[in-house]
Amino acid sequence: MPDIPTVTLPSGISVPALGLGTWKMGESPNDANAEIESLRRGLDLGMTLIDTAEMYGEGASEELTGKAIDGRRDEVFLVSKVYPWNASRPGVIEACEASLERLQTDRLDLYLLHWRGEHPLEETVAGFEALRRDGKIGAWGVSNFDTADMEELMAVPDGRNCATNQVLYNLSRRGIEYDLLPWCQEHEIPVMAYSPIEQGRILRNAELIRIAKAYQATPAQVALAFLLERDKVIAIPKSSTASRVEENAVAVDLDISDEDWEALDAAFPPPERKQPLEML
């Protein structure tokens, strides 16, 4: 079984650096069994962080996730997200309760603001803190926040309790390396890298394929190894196929040479100036 590395959250809790995404899951009844099997396979392999959101399939992903973790809740570090338009102080509490109901659980380990919206950050944070005091969430964080958003968050009451920032980050989307990633690392706020294999689009890159072959690995494994190499980064690939989840888990064993990291830098150049945060 692969030895999945961990990342420590500000609370001191360790979570796997390789977790499981769930976007698009739960949307088709015909796929449900395979999706549940793939999530459970991930748990068996130690990829015990599961990321979902009220947005995904308008609750269908949370329902599917609830079925997948039935009887295994204590193994899982469960992450969900609130829509920005639900992120008023009372709205956050109501949305969280609806997520808990769909997930068939009494608590989330981490609850994220999906992206910034119309509600003032202090209100959202006050709602998150109330949920935390009530034991309905273990911690809270944000998603799709750029550096300036993080600075603003730090200035609101309790804003420094933010436990993560989930953003688009993969070989072909390296903009955050210029400022947001170092900022988060300095503030000890882990970055959760979403779409870590660019939803499959980077897997056809010739250089990635060449390097993967040299290690008898797959392009997806190299793309994940790139993220696992970084400090305070958690990758959450999604796959509805158990064999691909197994393939992704083995990425933790890849040991890429300096020369090949340089070749990957040439194929996917790091940023030389500030780039606005990209979103999918």
Catalytic positions, written as ranges:
56
Is residue 197 involved in binding ligand NDP (CB under 6 A)?
yes
Please choose, out of 5-13, 116-124, 130-138, 231-239, the segment that lies near ligand NDP by the rule CB under 6 A. Answer: 231-239
Residue selected from 65, 165, 195, 205 as contacting ligand NDP according to rule CB under 6 A: 195
Quote the least distance from Cβ 17 to ligand NDP, whole Å: 14
Is residue 21 involved in binding ligand NDP (CB under 6 A)?
yes
Is residue 203 involved in binding ligand NDP (CB under 6 A)?
yes
- Identify which of residues 10 and 200 has a Cβ nearer to ligand NDP in the complex: 200
Quote the least distance from Cβ 158 to ligand NDP, whole Å: 22
Residue selected from 239, 264, 268, 277 as contacting ligand NDP according to rule CB under 6 A: 239
Residue selected from 48, 88, 105, 144 as contacting ligand NDP according to rule CB under 6 A: 144
Residue selected from 247, 261, 275, 278 as contacting ligand NDP according to rule CB under 6 A: 247
3-state per-residue secondary structure call for the chain: CCCCCEEECCCCCEEECECEECCCCCCCHHHHHHHHHHHHHHHHCCCCEEECCCCHHHHHHHHHHHHHCCCCHHHCEEEEEECHHHCCHHHHHHHHHHHHHHHCCCCEEEEEECCCCCCCHHHHHHHHHHHHHCCCEEEEEEECCCHHHHHHHHHCCCHHHCCCEEEECECCECHHHCCHHHHHHHCCCCEEEECCCHHHHHHHCHHHHHHHHHCCCCHHHHHHHHHHCCCCEEECCCCCCHHHHHHHHHHHHCCCCHHHHHHHHHHCCCCCCCCCCCCC
Is residue 34 involved in binding ligand NDP (CB under 6 A)?
no
Is residue 86 involved in binding ligand NDP (CB under 6 A)?
no
Is residue 205 involved in binding ligand NDP (CB under 6 A)?
no
- Identify which of residues 85 and 259 has a Cβ nearer to ligand NDP in the complex: 85
**Alpha-carbon span 26 to 56, nearest angstrom:** 8
Is residue 99 involved in binding ligand NDP (CB under 6 A)?
no
Answer yes or no: are the C-beta atoms of 245 and 47 closer than 8 Å. Answer: yes
**Alpha-carbon span 163 to 157, nearest angstrom:** 15
**Alpha-carbon span 140 to 133, nearest angstrom:** 12
Beta-bridged to residue 77, according to DSSP, are 49
Residue selected from 66, 84, 141, 237 as contacting ligand NDP according to rule CB under 6 A: 237
Residue selected from 238, 252, 254, 260 as contacting ligand NDP according to rule CB under 6 A: 238
Is residue 23 involved in binding ligand NDP (CB under 6 A)?
yes
Quote the least distance from Cβ 35 to ligand NDP, whole Å: 8
- Identify which of residues 19 and 133 has a Cβ nearer to ligand NDP in the complex: 19
Applying CB under 6 A, which residues contact ligand NDP?
21-23, 51, 114, 143-144, 166, 194-200, 203, 220, 236-241, 244, 247-248, 280
